[in-house]
Structure 1
Amino acid sequence: MTNKTASEPSGKPAAPLAERLKLASGWRRRSLSRRLVLVAAGWSVLALAIAWVILVGLYRTASERAFDAQLEVYAKTILSEMVPDATSADVPRETQAMLAVQAPKGIIEPRFSLPLSGWYWTVRSGETGRILFASPSLVGDPLTVASLEGEEAQSAFGTGPGGEELRVRQQRVRFGNATYIIAVAAGTAGFRADLAQFTQMAALTLAVIGAGLTGAVFLQVRIGLKPLVRLQASLAAVRRGDEETIDEDLPVEIAPLAVELNALIHSNREIVERARTHVGNLAHGLKTPLSVISNEARAAQGPLADKVSEQAAIMSTQIQHHLERARMAAQRRVIGVSCDVDPVLGRLCRAMGKIYQDRGIQLSQSVPAGLRFRGEQQDLEELSGNLIDNACKWAKGRVTVSVQPLAQSGVGRELFELVVEDDGPGLSQEERREAVKRGRRLDETVPGTGLGLSIVADLAALYGGRLDLDRSVMGGLKASLVLPAI
């Protein structure tokens, strides 16, 4: 363990963790379920809107045809009434001879006789356009109609007495050398009301169908993506260390993915184990020759022996540091490794309390229940043990250990902060910068190798965290260690 020290942040958090937090914070915005439902709902709304326009257009066309057919029946009735008899008491003989037709009398629709009833007819001269006969319902008011312009029959909207909208059916007929235009008109109020009612009912019906389709798509997506939720839960269980492999009992479309992930996890563990074996072999292979060199140098006398002994000690320190980093890196990449924070810190605090019992050091601990460290238990023990031991060495009488979860970008407990404070002398800003340098000891009177805080800073960086050192409110040093959580 190193002497009581403090430092500036040892480095920025690992970029991959920041990227993962950023991606996780936007997970809901990029929800696959939401995307599928919105696309399906959008196309459903568009398709139903087009269907609504088509249906309303078809209904309008059919209604207009039915309306025109009824008006055409009345026009033919008027035409049949115009066929002249041998005599007509109401029309002078000279007029009959000139017109070659007689005034219609037998129109069976009573509304043609009611003043301004909305049902009208006229008979005009095809050559001059002059009105020859008109229904009593017009009571002398004009009936504005469009010109046929060479057509034999035409249906269009026109304007009647009082500016009311009419549906007008015109038809050109010939008697001998004379041409007549029969126009039959009816008010469109009822027609418009029926069209509006159908439009509303069609919109309501299609809206209900659209809501039903959207609900069906939502259920289909939720049910269809449930296996992905199971896969996610199984993978999370492996990451937490609750399970060793991912459940492969999945639909055939994603079962190969689970198989490949399990193979990747197995390969990862094999690689880590091989790395640990190589690290152990390297440590064994280097430590023995260095021990021999150191022993021989200590047995000899002179400047050369002293220099060899000094350099051998430096090499041993360097080897220990880099082998420790290699072991940390290997453990950091193990999938599905985690441990509870509270029991680890509890054991360390009890052990440190016994070690420093003769100095009367009071250790207090505050750790939330259920918090888990995403990494090896021995790494957490080494990280927190270095900090707590360092604090106890320099404390006057009090050391506090507290843990609190950190929420980043709305992602819940992705990180947690371990804070160790003491009431010792503390360090200046310059001393805190020097403290985390490998092998740097600010006080040679306190036992230690000078590797403790440098290993803590390196290991925290490997886990995507950081070590911050500052002045404590208790007067001593405050060491803040940020680590990944589950």
Structure 2
Amino acid sequence: MRKGSIAASLFWLSAGWLIVALVATGFLLTDLYSRALDTSLSETLEFHVESLAGDLLESGNPLSDTISLTDPRFNRPRSGWYWTIRDADGQLYNLSTSVVGIVLPAVTGSSDISGMRTAVLDDAFGTRMRVIERTVTIASKTYRIVVTGSLSEVLKLVDDFRGQTFIVLGAVGAMLAIMSVIVARIAMRPISRLRNAIERVREGDAETVGGVYPNEIAPLAEEVNELLRSNAQIIERARNQVGNLAHGLKTPIAVLRNEAGAKKGVLAEVVLTESEKMSTMVATYLERARLAARTSVVGKKADGTMIMLRLTRVMRKIHPDCTIAFQRPDASLPWFRGDEADLEEMAGNLLDNACKWSKGQVGVRLLAERGDTGTMLLIRIDDNGPGLSDEDAHKVLRRGVRLDEKTPGSGLGLDIVKELVDVYGGSLDLRRSALGGLLAELRLPTSRLTGMTKS
């Protein structure tokens, strides 16, 4: 069962974290920049207030022409940069050139220790302003100095900075995302090498998982090799035990058969019949154990084209009256993933049956068939014999079933083929052939290895 990809999970996890981190960084930088600009504006306004207060104290007259600020922004109307000098009753004495046709709103609130009050107000044109007011007393008369600076300019600078920041952080995020993809691919390379090594074992190119792996993966490779060794030992022990059991039973069964054969009577016939059944069962289960043990060992493969060429030559000698047409495939045909002797046994039984039942014409073809479970090796053997009905085709695959007792044989050939097919996870289908006889389609798992086949 597969569930997603480690590399994809790492990418999306890192990408999600990057997005959150970069967005938070963007807002944090924007807030810091906004605070810095606002602080700078406040310090500038405080400096101008101190300058006006110094000029007022030096001249002693709020109407003096010497009271002024050199900053040109105070000369531009509707700029948001204004200054005025009023008395405690609100009487205006002096002002900047920028204060034209407007009345600055009053500053409310309490003063700090230095006698200053600050506020954020809007002028008549909708410009947001930072306002600082200071009280100065000259000859028992109190004056209020008000200086404003445009906060809208600061907000515009903050908006521009925010846009540029997110553009830059977006580019950085894209580069980091690309880097995370590269890092994920590099980090996953040992796993890909381990997968390829295991696949080489399964395909028959190696007996053990080889290679050097990082500390996190090396134990997995060692465990796979240990599992392969344990599997081989278990199979060998099982094979030996089944063989010992079969050989141990053969002698008592042979004694019973011999004794029953030398006697006459009902008991002797029963003993002879049952001993024959036991002998058949021992042979059957011994064969099944042999097949299971042989096909359970990984790391085997066989060239189907070479085997079919060899079987075709042999069958032509055994059945000289039969014409066997072998359509040889190209060199890209995948190999059979299993033991060569097993493929010979399966294909040989089918080809021998086709030759026995044909009227002199047999066709053999090898194909690569792609399906839901992957690529399968398809061996098609058809003849121009009498063929079989659907019912007989299903019945003939049963163990020991023979539709014609006159033809030599035990009836176990097709059953052995079916046993091997089931062990390898393949399939065997029997149907009507285009030649008029029987078509046998044998599908078997393939190895990815392909090679040039010599005749």
Asked whether the two chains share a fold, i.e. TM above 0.5, the reply is yes
Residue among 402, 408, 411 paired with 2:372: 408
Residue among 411, 427, 431 paired with 1:466: 427
Residue 330 of structure 2 is aligned to residue 371 of structure 1: no
Residue 197 of structure 2 is aligned to residue 234 of structure 1: yes
Residue 113 of structure 2 is aligned to residue 150 of structure 1: no
Give, as a single letter, the amino acid of the residue that structure 1 aligns with 2:192. V
1:201-254 C-alpha deviation (Å, 9 max, x unpaired)? 433443343344334444443333333333222222222222222225333443
When residues 475 and 120 of structure 1 are mapped into structure 2, their CA distance, relative to the original with a 3 A threshold, is farther
Report the alpha carbon displacement of residue 63 of structure 1 after superposing the two structures with TM: 1.0
Residue 355 of structure 2 is aligned to residue 392 of structure 1: yes
Report the alpha carbon displacement of residue 82 of structure 1 after superposing the two structures with TM: 4.4
1:167-196 C-alpha deviation (Å, 9 max, x unpaired)? 32232425357573624132634x345334
Does the CA-based 8 Å contact 1:141-1:161 persist in structure 2? yes
Report the alpha carbon displacement of residue 155 of structure 1 after superposing the two structures with TM: 5.0
Alpha-carbon separation, structure 1, partners of 2:242 and 2:332: 35
Does the CA-based 8 Å contact 1:126-1:172 persist in structure 2? no
Pairing 1:26-45 to 2, within 5 Å after superposition: 26=2, 30-45=4-19
When residues 430 and 113 of structure 1 are mapped into structure 2, their CA distance, relative to the original with a 3 A threshold, is same
Report the alpha carbon displacement of residue 134 of structure 1 after superposing the two structures with TM: 4.2
When residues 350 and 107 of structure 1 are mapped into structure 2, their CA distance, relative to the original with a 3 A threshold, is same
Secondary structure of 2:144 counterpart: strand
Give, as a single letter, the amino acid of the residue that structure 2 aligns with 1:330. A
Secondary structure of 1:136 counterpart: coil
Residue among 214, 217, 222 paired with 1:259: 222
Residue 22 of structure 2 is aligned to residue 60 of structure 1: no
When residues 447 and 58 of structure 1 are mapped into structure 2, their CA distance, relative to the original with a 3 A threshold, is same
Secondary structure of 2:321 counterpart: helix
Residue among 455, 460, 483 paired with 2:416: 455
Does the CA-based 8 Å contact 1:124-1:181 persist in structure 2? yes
Please list every run of 5 or more consecutive structure 1 residues that lacks an aligned counterpart in the other structure.
1-22, 91-101
Give, as a single letter, the amino acid of the residue that structure 1 aligns with 2:372. Q
Alpha-carbon separation, structure 1, partners of 2:325 and 2:260: 44
Please list every run of 5 or more consecutive structure 2 residues that lacks an aligned counterpart in the other structure.
448-455
Report the alpha carbon displacement of residue 265 of structure 1 after superposing the two structures with TM: 1.7
**What TM-score, normalized by structure 1, do the two folds share?**
0.79
Give the match for residue 284 of structure 1: 247
Give the match for residue 434 of structure 1: 395
Give, as a single letter, the amino acid of the residue that structure 1 aligns with 2:18. S
Pairing 1:176-191 to 2, within 5 Å after superposition: 176=140, 178=142, 180=144, 182-186=146-150, 188-189=152-153, 191=154
Give, as a single letter, the amino acid of the residue that structure 2 aligns with 1:166. R
Secondary structure of 1:480 counterpart: strand
Give the match for residue 206 of structure 1: 169
Residue 132 of structure 2 is aligned to residue 170 of structure 1: yes
Give, as a single letter, the amino acid of the residue that structure 2 aligns with 1:329. A
Give the match for residue 135 of structure 1: 96
Report the alpha carbon displacement of residue 288 of structure 1 after superposing the two structures with TM: 4.3
When residues 260 and 52 of structure 1 are mapped into structure 2, their CA distance, relative to the original with a 3 A threshold, is same
Q: Work out which structure has the larger RCO, using CA pairs closer than 8 Å and 6 or more positions apart in sequence.
A: 1
Residue 374 of structure 2 is aligned to residue 418 of structure 1: no
Alpha-carbon separation, structure 2, partners of 1:225 and 1:85: 80
When residues 319 and 368 of structure 1 are mapped into structure 2, their CA distance, relative to the original with a 3 A threshold, is farther
Secondary structure of 1:335 counterpart: coil
Does the CA-based 8 Å contact 1:78-1:104 persist in structure 2? no
**What TM-score, normalized by structure 2, do the two folds share?**
0.83
When residues 86 and 51 of structure 1 are mapped into structure 2, their CA distance, relative to the original with a 3 A threshold, is closer
Report the alpha carbon displacement of residue 460 of structure 1 after superposing the two structures with TM: 1.9
When residues 87 and 450 of structure 1 are mapped into structure 2, their CA distance, relative to the original with a 3 A threshold, is closer
When residues 477 and 115 of structure 1 are mapped into structure 2, their CA distance, relative to the original with a 3 A threshold, is same
Residue 296 of structure 2 is aligned to residue 336 of structure 1: no
When residues 109 and 451 of structure 1 are mapped into structure 2, their CA distance, relative to the original with a 3 A threshold, is same
Secondary structure of 1:225 counterpart: helix
Alpha-carbon separation, structure 2, partners of 1:436 and 1:161: 101
Residue 316 of structure 2 is aligned to residue 356 of structure 1: no
Alpha-carbon separation, structure 2, partners of 1:344 and 1:297: 45
Does the CA-based 8 Å contact 2:53-2:145 persist in structure 1? no
Report the alpha carbon displacement of residue 294 of structure 1 after superposing the two structures with TM: 4.4
Give, as a single letter, the amino acid of the residue that structure 2 aligns with 1:404. A
Give the match for residue 236 of structure 2: 273
When residues 329 and 156 of structure 1 are mapped into structure 2, their CA distance, relative to the original with a 3 A threshold, is farther
Give, as a single letter, the amino acid of the residue that structure 2 aligns with 1:65. T
Does the CA-based 8 Å contact 2:324-2:364 persist in structure 1? no
Give, as a single letter, the amino acid of the residue that structure 1 aligns with 2:313. R
Does the CA-based 8 Å contact 1:237-1:243 persist in structure 2? yes
Give the match for residue 18 of structure 1: none
Secondary structure of 1:447 counterpart: coil
Aligned residues: 441
When residues 474 and 135 of structure 1 are mapped into structure 2, their CA distance, relative to the original with a 3 A threshold, is farther
Alpha-carbon separation, structure 2, partners of 1:141 and 1:261: 87
Give the match for residue 279 of structure 2: 316
When residues 408 and 110 of structure 1 are mapped into structure 2, their CA distance, relative to the original with a 3 A threshold, is same
Alpha-carbon separation, structure 1, partners of 2:77 and 2:101: 10
Give the match for residue 120 of structure 1: 82
Give the match for residue 77 of structure 1: 51
Give the match for residue 47 of structure 1: 21
Which segments of structure 1 move beyond 6 Å, counting only runs of 4 or more? Answer: 129-132
Secondary structure of 1:426 counterpart: coil
Secondary structure of 2:428 counterpart: strand
Give the match for residue 98 of structure 1: none
